[in-house]
Each structure stands twice: as structure tokens, then as C-alpha cells.
A and B are shown apart, each in its own frame.
Chain A
Amino acid sequence: MNRNMRGGAVVLSPRDNVATATRDLETGTSVPLGEMEKRHTVVLKEPIRFGHKFSLKPISKGTAIIKYGEIIGLARQDIPEGSHVHLHNVESQRTSHRVKRLCRSPAMREEVRHKK
């Protein structure tokens, strides 16, 4: 886990496609992310406030937004690299009436059965 938070943003898992700003960042800021050979820079397309997220790569409509290595929602539209990722372009999968189906997904049932 990249816990170096001095660069202005943090990526919590290598699977993530978003980073969290650890200070207020201006449009055009180049944010260095990753370590050593995996190091790359994201240029911000808009200002990102402290605590808010931006995309590390282009994310197409309908695909998962990943933070902590887990799905936090789906992209409501195509999101270019370096964009603010928030309510305007992300949809929760759980705060609608689709909840029950997801909670009782086959994968989850398998996990419970596996425990016995």
C-alpha cells in the first residue's frame, strides 16, 4: 500500500483507479504517484479539494470505481484521467432497491457455505 502521503495524494491499493487528495490541489498540478518503476504522474484537469478523489486513468461509463482495492460504485459517465470523481459521475450500487440481490450474491453465499 502506498502510504506516502506527502506527494499531495494517496492511492490505498494497487488495484485502485482513484487517488485521494491529502491537500487542496490546483488544476494542472502534476501529482506523482506510485513507487519506483511503477511511478507515474497524473495531471489534474480540475481542482481537487482535500479528501476528494481523482481518476488515475480513464474510466469508462458503467465500470467500477475502485478505492481500498474494493468497488465503491460505478462510473455514470466516461471519466478522463485526472478528473474529480464524486457524486456527479459515480453511482452507488447499494443505496437503491437493488441492494438485496447484491447482498445475497452467489459469491457471498459461497463465502458463507465455505465457512461451515
Chain B
Amino acid sequence: MRKPKKSFLGYRRETGEVGVRNHVAIIPSVSCAASTAGMIASRVKGCTAIFNQLGCGQVDLDLEQTARTLVGLGRNPNVAAVLVVGLGCEALSPWKLAEDIAQSRKPVEIIIIQEIGGTVRAVEEGLRTAGKLVEFASKRKRETVGAKELVMGIECGGSDATSGIAANPAVGVASDLLIEAGGTSIFSETPELIGAEHILVKRAVDGDVAKKLLEVVARFEEKLKSAGLNMRGTQPSPGNIEGGITTLEEKSLGCVHKAGSSPLQDVLEYADAVAGRGLYFMDTGGYDIESIPAMVAGGAEIIVFTTGRGTPTGAPIAPVVKVTGNSRTYRKMKDNIDVNAGTIIDGSESIEEVGLRIYEEILAVASGKQTKAETLGFIEFGISRVGPST
């Protein structure tokens, strides 16, 4: 088999980290400022708005988690510069948000709607500022860097029986190749560990990591129980069941293949920054729209997303590479799917061959190739809540 490539073209940032995109992010500190932020982003080419639905009516850990996610997104190396749009009276301080993002030493500007005097003035000033930031970003050039600089997030959604047999094992091979090259992979979705914990416990680098992994699963189950919820009926989802997945354990055992066979370095909290290299697990829910942004906030620069049933989902800031293990889904949803791993089931390619193909696609996308979700402009976004609104 051919030798895997070990480099890609990326944007070196002020911190030394390397991004795969060169966005100017317009980040509203609160939902009340989101439409204004969206107006600015829609008028300035090169800008991406993050549709934050939270930022007020939140306290303690719940507010902290929202802030941590927005700060992480702003700091992500895919972002060249940031404009924070605040309202002025929200719980999540826009000034603190801007300050925390600015620790990554990239340009950060701020506009407060109540101070400047309404949306029209905020948009007028915002267009001017965003324009300047895009000009700054446009002068950054891609350079050749080692694959070890890349942080990949791995997601699965809309699973069917092919996910566990073809797409996830092939993505697992790609993840192992990236980690062998010195890079980093984050995978998430705590409910989809249930029934497969023992496999990852064995691969944890030490007892503390193994314990943390079991703790996040127990904490998740405890939380459901205290809310009087039972996952029967949602896990597996109706689409999973239709596709042949019978129990949550079966779904989890298929999901866990996407993490390949590398040792598990650590377990991260939702949106926590990844601090080293190798394989990491992040504690998130199983809802793709909320778990992808958490991994991007944690530092993931590219997302690989396996889907048996097919999903259009994208993400702000990070490209999402869609992989299906189901050739029928690939033929039906070519507009949305980047890689067909269904060849494994059709019998024309091995898991290793498809894994190498996915790894090469990851490096190509990291170097600038646009994904289907990017060309369609999809930027689905959500942040998980810790508690109720106050």
C-alpha cells in the first residue's frame, strides 16, 4: 500500500498553532446580539457568524460552559481574527469574552449594541471593523507543516449498521495514521460509550484516565435518572433502528471503532482545550449539533463525520468531512457526502485502504479543499446546557 502523506498546507497563528481555515469570526456574546452579528457577517466576505443562542439567563457552571465554548471557538487556529458583538447587559460579559479570546494574541475587536446606539449603528461600525479584520486575515499565507500540527474531531450521526462495520473502522484507521504522524484526535458523545466503556478503559494510558472515563459515563446516566429520563426510545434513534441497530450497546460498540486503536491520553470536559497530542475523549451529549462545536472549541480544526443514514450537518469555523459506509446513501446523498466507505461492504476495498483514502482526504481538506457542507454554507451550531434558564 502507498505511504501516507505527512504534511499539509496550513495557517501558522500567533501561538504557533496551525489552522486549516482563515475565518474572521463574528461572535455574539448573547442571543440578543446574534441577528446583528449575522447581518455583519452576511455583508463581509470572509466572515463567519456563530449563531449563539445563549449568554443570558444562565448561572454558574451553565454560564461558564457557554463562555468556555465561545472563547474556545474564538481561539481556534482556524480563526484569524474576531469581532465580538455584545448587547451590553447580558450575563456573559462581552468584554471578558473578547479579553479571553485575545490571549491567543490574534486581533479581537468589540462592538456593544447598547453603547453604540442600536443595530443600524452597530452594523455600520461592524462592517467597517470586519472589513479591516478580513484585510488582515487575507495577508496570511498557507505554509507546509507536519501532520502533527493537525487536531481532528471525530463525530458519528445518523448511524446505521454500516457505520460500525465500515465507516467507523475506516475512520479509526485514519485517526491512527494521524496519531502515528504525531497529530491529535478528539472523539466525543458520552451516551455512545455506554456498553463499550470496557474497550476504552483497557486503552487508557493510566488508572486516572480510566476512572475519569467511567465517571463521565456514570455522571451522564445519573443526570438522566435524576431528570426522570430513560434513554429507551431515543437511543438507538428511530433511524438507527430502521437501519438495523437494535440496542444502545450495539450502537456504542460500532461507534467506538471510530477512535481507532491508539491509547487514550485523557478525558476532557465539554469544550475544554486539548493540551497534548494523541487520542482524547470529550464528554458531550450524542447530539451532533452540540458536540461538534464543543470539539472545535477544544481545538479541533477539522471534523470527520461518519453517517450511515446521511446528514447535511456542517459547523462554523471547521470543515466537516462526511463519510458513509453505505453505498446506497452515498448515491442518494452525494450532495452531502464527501467519502464513500461503502466499498468495504461492496467488497472492492479493504478497511485499511479506505482508512488511508480518508486520511488523505483529511489532509487535502486541511490544505484548503472545500467539503460539501462548506460549499453549501452549513454552519449548524449549539452549546449544551448544564442547568435550566434562570
With contact pairs A99-B194, A108-B198, A112-B210 given, residues A51 and B243 touching in the complex (Cβ less than 8 Å): yes
State whether A72 touches B195 (Cβ < 8 A). Answer: yes
For chain B, the count of residues having a C-beta within 8 Å of the partner chain is 47
CA distance A112 to B198 in the complex (A): 10
Number of A-B contacts (CB under 8 A): 126
**B244 engages A92 (CB within 8 Å):** no
Please encode chain A, from 66 to 84, with 1 for each CB lying within 8 Å of some chain B CB and 0 for all others: 0110111100000000000
Q: Are A96 and B249 in contact (CB under 8 A)?
A: no
Are A90 and B165 closer than 8 Å at their CB atoms? no
Q: Provide the residues of chain A in CB contact with B276, threshold 8 Å.
A: none
**B residues lining the A interface (CB < 8 Å):** 160-162, 164-165, 194-199, 201-202, 204, 206-207, 210-211, 214, 217-218, 221-222, 225, 230-232, 235, 241, 243-244, 246-250, 253-254, 308, 326, 328, 344-347, 350-351
Q: Is there contact, CB below 8 Å, between A97 and B206?
A: no
Are A67 and B253 interface neighbours, CB within 8 A?
Answer: yes
- Contacting residues, chain B, for A3 (C-beta < 8 A): 344, 350-351
The answer to whether A94 touches B164 (Cβ under 8 A) is no
**Which residues of B lie under 8 Å from residue A108 when comparing CB positions?**
197-198, 201, 214
Q: Is residue A116 within 8 Å, beta carbon to beta carbon, of the partner chain?
A: yes
- Write out the residue numbers on chain A whose beta carbons fall within 8 Å of the beta carbon of B248: 92, 94-95
Contact of B244 among A53, A93, A100 (CB under 8 A): A53
Instruction: For A86, list chain B residues within 8 Å (CB).
Output: 241, 244, 246
The distance in angstroms between the C-alpha atoms of A23 and B210, with both chains bound, is 39
CA distance A74 to B167 in the complex (A): 26
**Contacting residue for B247 out of A20, A73, A100, A114, CB 8 A:** A73
16 contacts across the A-B interface (CB closer than 8 A)? A5-B345, A20-B165, A51-B162, A52-B161, A71-B195, A72-B246, A73-B249, A73-B250, A86-B244, A92-B246, A92-B249, A94-B249, A97-B230, A108-B214, A112-B201, A112-B207
